[in-house]
Amino acid sequence: MQRGRRLAFDFGDVRIGVAVCDPDGILASP
């Protein structure tokens, strides 16, 4: 897996969440 910040989208029924992970890909924060 490549290192670097990644952006993730969570499509829920009520809202869409966005999270960004740290460069190591361990911790994701909204």
Confidence at 5, pLDDT banded by 50, 70, 90: low
Cα–Cα dist 2/15, whole Å: 29
pTM: predicted TM-score of the whole model, two decimal places: 0.38
**pLDDT (mean) for 1-30:** 72
Q: pLDDT tens digit string along 8-20?
A: 787 878 887 888 8
Q: What pLDDT is stored for residue 15 in this prediction?
A: 81
Give 6's contacts (C-beta < 8 A, 6+ positions apart): 20, 21, 25
Domain range list for the chain:
1-30
> Does residue 29 register a pLDDT over 70?
no
Q: What pLDDT is stored for residue 1 in this prediction?
A: 53
| Phi, psi (degrees; rounded to nearest 5) at 13 | -75, -35
